[in-house]
Amino acid sequence: MRRSVFRAVAAAFALAAAAPAAYAQHPAPAPATSGGATANLQGDQQSWIDDPHIHAFYAAAVAATAHGAAKADIPAFEKTSFAIFRDFGASRGMKPEAMQDHLKLIPRQVIQIAKEDPHALDTYESFVEAMFGPK
């Protein structure tokens, strides 16, 4: 179950990372590979990982689960998360509502991840691994 939740969250982040290309008239070219190296088809994950909005979402997740994931105020966490997602979308040149709609399931999935793995939010690095997968 935990892996499927991780995959769903990572897929949602990956799709949202690729979403700006959906607004373009023509799709972006596929990333190049060299010497048999594998390209990351999810786009530039590192720019997401470094983005202050994702850091703010992590901080909100930590605050929401401060007394245990089972006691999280999910509606309040969603409200905070949705505001972050709208700002994030605008910062990436997307319609804020589109980004919120695209990531709307992520807050509850993060709470579920924290219930299944209480250490998933211990550090930003463990959060990134849970959201994007291991590097």
pLDDT of residue 44: 77
More confident call, 16 vs 23: 16
Whole-structure pTM value: 0.72
Burial group, residue 113, by CB count within 10 angstroms (0-12, 13-18, 19+): buried
- Mean per-residue pLDDT of the chain: 80
Average pLDDT of the residues in 49-75: 97
User: Confidence band (pLDDT; 50, 70, 90) for 13?
Assistant: low
Residue 26's pLDDT band (cuts 50, 70, 90): very low
- Which residues, in sequence order, are CB contacts of 6 under 8 Å at separation 6+? 113, 130, 131, 133
Confidence check: pLDDT of 19 > 80: no
> On the CB side of 5, how many CA atoms lie within 13 Å of its CA?
17
